[in-house]
């Protein structure tokens, strides 16, 4: 479901392996100029990032943005906490679900929507070890089926 005006910068592949994604939200992010320039070069990592809600605001932690090469004194800390921009009702809804039901808020991807940097965050529930094994087995089975179908189509 990628729009023409949506250019993906970074994906969090680990999130889809470690979590069951219940619902996803699009959030804006508060950045400084040198951070945006560095993101345009693709220097962003979402691997260990997570979100927390504090005083009615949602923040993104551990997202690494490599310092911009030509930024000198204007560069910021690469792993500082960054404020996400969501509607108040969405933040309250997320807070209630996380507080009561033990879900986590994990960033799934970073992308440009038109000229703005957006973060797709997911309301996630941690997978158990047997869930991970089942998803790996299903993926391998689908791969095997595709391989056999491709061989049969080449045979005929």
Report the pLDDT value the prediction gives residue 156, as an integer from 0 to 100. 66
Choice between 75 and 82, residue whose per-residue pLDDT is larger: 82
CA distance 10 to 119: 10
| pLDDT, mean of residues 7-19 | 87
pLDDT band at 2 (very low <50, low <70, confident <90, very high): low
Q: Say if residue 109's pLDDT is above 90.
A: yes
pLDDT for 71? 67
Stretch 112-137: mean pLDDT, rounded?
87
Query: What pLDDT sits at residue 61?
Result: 93
pLDDT tens digits along 83-95? 999 999 999 999 9
Q: Note whether 19 and 90 are within 8 A (CB).
A: no
Q: Which CATH architecture has domain 6-127?
A: Beta Barrel (2.40)
What is the per-residue pLDDT for 107?
A: 94
């Amino acid at each position: 479901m990628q729009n023409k005006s949506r250019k993906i910068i970074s994906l969090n592949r680990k999130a889809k392996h470690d979590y069951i994604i219940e619902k996803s939200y699009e959030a804006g992010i508060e950045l400084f100029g040198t951070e945006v320039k560095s993101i345009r070069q693709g220097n962003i990592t979402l691997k260990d990032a997570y979100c927390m809600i504090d005083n009615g605001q949602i923040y993104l932690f551990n997202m690494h943005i490599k310092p911009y090469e030509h930024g000198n004194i204007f560069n910021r800390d690469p792993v500082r906490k960054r404020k996400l921009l969501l509607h108040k009702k969405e933040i309250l809804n997320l807070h209630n679900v996380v507080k009561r039901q033990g879900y986590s808020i994990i960033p799934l991807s970073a992308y440009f929507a038109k000229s703005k940097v957006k973060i797709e965050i997911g309301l996630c529930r941690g997978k158990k070890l047997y869930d991970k094994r089942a998803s790996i087995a299903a993926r391998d089975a689908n791969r095997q089926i595709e391989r056999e179908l491709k061989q049969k189509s080449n045979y005929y």
